[in-house]
Amino acid sequence: MSVLAHVPTGSGQSAPLPAARSGRYRLLPYLLLLPGAAWLFLFFAVPLFQLAAASLYDPSGSLSTGYALTWAFGNYPEALQAYWPQFTRSFLYAGIALVLALLMGYPLAYAIAQKAGRWKNLLLVCVIAPMFTSFLVRTLAWKTILSDNGALVGLLRDVHLLGADGRLLATPVAVVLGLTYNFLPFLVLPLYASLERLDHRLLEAASDLYASPVRAFRKVTLPLSMPGLVAGTLLFFIPASGDYINAELLGTPNEYMIGNVIDSAFLVRLDYPQGAALSFLLMAAILAVVFVYLRRAGTDEVL
């Protein structure tokens, strides 16, 4: 007995569809996924596997003598012991920058979503416009803004917020400011998407129930914006903690983050086992932070 699928006809009746053709329709979604899956396999899974193998190379090898896969798991504790200050500094700088971005980004996203009116699209373009420029160019611009002879430092000296010899460039402040500026749009845009869907009638209902503006924000606005808030903080924190351009251009070796160490291991010292081990340690640390954060914040509408 053959199995027939049915498709609607113009008269409202269902016409039988051959089983073979029905099977092809069921395979269609998987065929559409095939190009993306092949791309991820070739350019993500394979390099990740090669990086994992490189992290287990014999650390005594070199490009001239060659590396051997000796399953040297000792590369991991040695790399962590040698560069734990850079790991700590990376998450500290990224965390401080995230707090600054939240203090600026949440009011900005709320204003654009709820108060901007006909200026909404223009303000969104202003948020996105810096991303039309290269990340490197933007960071170099901050190097000029924070320079010792720049207007900003001169103003801070004039109002005695900086000493006569005070400076911003080549300090942790400069690195944190660079991180905040460069990754701020990644926080604002998801927040805007959540706040833009906020139903004003809920705020009116909270007001009718004698809730103060602060209580209405805490009980209505903030919970409803949590999906955008969680997504935005992750999109900000993950690349910020692995960044190395800001520390390279706006800081000194005393401000280097773990990304700078990984960059040096691969491109300067040519120590591939250590660079690969540090890369996996960074990925593991970020995944652990993200997992704990999502468990605490909730993931129902985020993932």
56-102: pLDDT as tens digits: 998 887 766 678 888 889 999 999 999 999 999 999 999 999 999 99
Name the residue among 258, 247, 276 with its Cα closest to residue 82. 258
**What pLDDT shows up at residue 1?**
44
**pTM given for the model:** 0.84
CATH architecture of 82-297: Orthogonal Bundle (1.10)
**What pLDDT shows up at residue 24?**
67
Query: Angle at CA 285, nearest 5°, toward 224 and 60?
Result: 160
> Whole-number mean pLDDT of the chain?
86
Token pair of 267 as six digits = 């491109």
**What pLDDT shows up at residue 12?**
52
With a pLDDT cut of 70, the percent of the chain lying above it is 89
Alpha-carbon dihedral of residues 232, 90, 169, 167, nearest 10 degrees?
100
189-220: pLDDT as tens digits: 999 999 998 888 888 888 878 788 888 888 88
Please state, in angstroms and rounded to a whole number, the distance separating the CA atoms of residues 285 and 276: 14
Does the pLDDT of residue 22 top 90, yes or no? no
- For 159-189, letters b (16+ CB in 10 Å) and e give eeebeeeebbbbbbbbbbbbbbbbbbbbbbb
The 3-state secondary structure of the chain, one letter per residue: CCCCEEEECCCCCEEEECHHHHHHHHHHHHHHHHHHHHHHHHHHHHHHHHHHHHCCECCCCECCCECCECCCCCHHHHHHHHHHHHHHHHHHHHHHHHHHHHHHHHHHHHHHHHHCHHHHHHHHHHHHHHHHCCHHHHHHHHHHHCCCCCHHHHHHHHCCCCCCCCCCCCCHHHHHHHHHHHHHHHHHHHHHHHHHCCCHHHHHHHHHCCCCHHHHHHHHHHHHCHHHHHHHHHHHHHHHHCCCHHHHHHCCHHHCCHHHHHHHHHHCCCCHHHHHHHHHHHHHHHHHHHHHHHHHHCCCCCC
Question: 90 phi and psi, to 5 degrees?
Answer: -60, -50
Mean pLDDT over residues 292-301, rounded? 72
